[in-house]
Amino acid sequence: MKAHWIKKGIFCAIAVVAGAFALGYVVMHLWNWLMPELFAGAKIITYCQAFGILILARILFGGWRHKGGCYGGHRGGYWRQYFKGKWEGMSEEEREKFRKGFGASCCQPEEKK
């Protein structure tokens, strides 16, 4: 059983490294295709420069912590806790009004009076 996890770990590590290299390749080609056309001063970059741009973008915009998904991960996160607090603060009448209004959408036609 332990050998299975070792093989799985090695495969995941190889997949992550291959994905990073593939992403660098895609960034290089997108940059070389778009940037010189859009901006007159932009130059063609190499693969190493594209990989450096990815790392820089990760540092500036992504951080290094794994957040576990769009909603903060771990079965909830910020928005779930926020709305749970609001829901608990509502009276029964407010909850019923919310339930009725939640089904309405801007895409649905309004009811004629």
Q: Is position 105 within any domain? A: no
pTM of the model: 0.49
Q: Tokens 């059983």 map to which residue? A: 1
Taking only the tens place, the pLDDT of each residue in 39-54 is: 888 899 999 999 999 8
Could you read off the pLDDT of 5-18 as tens digits, one per residue? 888 889 999 999 99
- Nearest Cα neighbor of 50 from 74, 76, 21 is 21
Domain of residue 53: give its range: 1-64
Number of domains in the chain: 1
Q: Say whether pLDDT at 95 is over 70.
A: yes
Tokens of 55: 């790392």
Residue 48: its pLDDT value, please? Answer: 92
Q: What is the rounded CA–CA span in Å between residue 75 and residue 69?
A: 10
Question: What's the angle, vertex CA 17, arms to CA 50 and CA 71, rounded to 5?
Answer: 85
**One-letter amino acid for residue 85 of the chain:** G
Which of residues 65 and 55 earns the better pLDDT score?
A: 55
Position 18 in a domain = yes
